[in-house]
Structure 1
Amino acid sequence: MVIIINKKFARLVIAFILITLIITIGFVTLRRGNTEVFSNYNYTTVKPIDRGSEDSKYIAFTCNVDWGNEVLPDILETLDKEKIKITFFITGRWAKQFPDLMQQIVDAGHEIGSHGYQHLDYGSLALDKNEEQIQKADEILSKYTMEKISLFAPPSGSYNENTLIASNKLGYKTILWTIDTIDWRAGSTKDVIIDRVLKKDKFNGAIVLMHPMPETAKALPKLIEAMREKGLEVGRVSDVLAE
């Protein structure tokens, strides 16, 4: 028996098969990447925060901690002398390895944020791995703060949709920065760090990113002085977000 198939009908059948295949492969890929689409929440509205209100009287200083044990005491001493509280974003593994220094930061009254458990490239991680890193850090850090931590700064500012979904799901705001001191880069002397910050033109509500580097500790008093001369108070991320 010879079956004659209309060419137009045949093209429609082939197109239907291809579309079905693409949808199936796409679904499997999403599942493997552990990125699920939730019908009751629009995750495109979840964005990282890189500054607070431009009407704020504060500028937030942040210090990301996964190293720098020898420098932290100097930074804490300067902050204590100037009666300033800032935000420390700390990895869970660091807090676990250096509990005494971690406790010292907490006892000084500084705001604690999460930097994840390990200093990884969160922008390349699947949803379950992002959740795992944030949750693991939360379990360690919250033992020191005795309260829910609500701020999360992904290492190196690297994130993807999975990072934002995981952070939001676990009750965090994802925080980036307005001004980067780039103090980890070779050649970042005290004067270079100060210049990188002060050459900016908008400071109200800004978030300044630092690390516990020797030259950063040297630059800190001058940066505090410069902000006060601009009529600003140096504070925490929560201070610039409050308004």
Structure 2
Amino acid sequence: MNFFLVMNGKALKQMILIVVLAFITAFFLYIENRAYSPVFSTQDGPKAVYRGEKDVALTFNIGWGDEKAAPILDLLEKRGIKSATFFLSGAWAERHPDLVSKMVKSGFEIGMLGYAYVDYSELEESEIRKDISKAQVAFGKLNIKDIKLLRAPTGHFDQRTLKAAEHLGYTVVHWSVDSKDWTNPGAETIATNVKAAKKGDIILLHASDSAKQTVKALPSILNDLDNKGLKIVTVSGMIANGNARSIEIK
């Protein structure tokens, strides 16, 4: 009798585990397919946008390097794209004022990637504020004083980042489509990764020197977005009048 009780107990535990995993999977699928603009947030607190409701946002992170940003800017200009959003670290902007000026003159939107390339999820809120404030000073010296968007340098963030950003007047921006271009998997693979993009997506690309194949992948990416009839807009333009719902960051 004891033998059967043990077996039944194991079977019951396995069944409970399967049900729990199925519920979790269903929950995340539900969240990903909501028609609203999804955001990360603290409960009743500041938000971090990662999707919009219409169009697509093409975003580029730049934290370091001297070679890859200029060719990407040239390609976008040749294709008539003036609504991309560039998230720049303050340290990089200080070293490349001419490129920053070219971005602004070309009509691209500038977002902030902090100052140093540090993981905000490993910092105290006061340290995050200090890094953002240092970036503010750097961009201020370049006469760029109206930045409203912030992206966590490594993409990792929690409540501390959201609270620090809100305190300093920034909206944290994540992404919904990751090109994984920084892994240098080949231009075709990068373009394939972005093919999943649909209405409302924020696409993550890089223009740092570590992303060696992004400029080669861009023509295919732009062609695909054009074929889908997706208009490229700035992140600010995408989220400007959108309704949002949130899930809690703990």
Normalising by structure 2, what TM-score? Answer: 0.74
CA distances 1:154-206 after superposition (whole Å, capped 9, x unpaired): 012111211110001111000000100111114x21001011111x2x51111
Q: Residue in 2 aligned with 1:217? A: 215
- Judge which range, 202-211 or 134-143, deviates more: 134-143
Segments of structure 1 that go 5 or more residues without pairing to the other structure are 1-41
Shift in Å at residue 81 of structure 1? 1.1
Encode CA deviations 1:3-48: one digit per residue, 9 max, x unaligned: xxxxxxxxxxxxxxxxxxxxxxxxxxxxxxxxxxxxxxx9532231
Map of 1:191 onto structure 2: 188
Matches within 5 A, 1:3-152: 44=43, 45-53=45-53, 56=54, 58-85=55-82, 86-144=84-142, 146-152=144-150
Give the conservation status (yes or no) of the 8 Å contact 1:59–1:235: yes
Calculate the aligned-residue CA RMSD, in Å. 1.6
Which residue does 1:39 correspond to in 2? none
After superposition, what is the alpha-carbon deviation per residue over 1:99-132, rounded to whole angstroms, capped at 9, x for unaligned?
Answer: 2222222222110000000110100110110101
Shift of 1:235: 2.3
What is the Cα deviation at residue 145 of structure 1? 5.1
State how far apart, in whole Å, the 2-side matches of 1:137 and 1:155 are.
12
Verify the 8 A CA contact 2:182 2:212 in the aligned structure 1: no
Which consecutive residues of structure 2, in runs of 5 or more, have no partner in the other structure?
1-40, 242-250
- Letter aligned with residue 168 of structure 1: E
1:205 maps to amino acid:
G
Of all paired residues, the percent bearing the same amino acid is 35
Which amino acid in the other structure matches residue 139 of structure 1? Answer: V
SS at match of 1:69: coil
> Normalised by the size of structure 1, how large is the TM-score?
0.76
1:224–1:234 contact (8 Å) kept in structure 2: no
CA distance in 1, matches of 2:236, 2:80: 17
Q: 1:72 to 1:167 in 2, by over 3 A?
A: same
Residue 18 of structure 1 is matched in structure 2 by: none
Determine the C-alpha separation between the residues in 2 that align with 1:75 and 1:214.
11
For the residues of structure 2 that align with 1:61 and 1:182, how far apart are their CA atoms? 14
Matched position secondary structure for 1:214: coil
SS of residue in 2 equivalent to 1:203:
coil
Give a deviation string over 1:54-104, Cα, whole Å, max 9, x none: xx1x21000000124211111111111111120000000111122222222
Amino acid at match of 1:65: I
Q: After the TM superposition, which segments of 4 or more aligned residues of structure 1 sit over 6 Å from their partners?
A: none
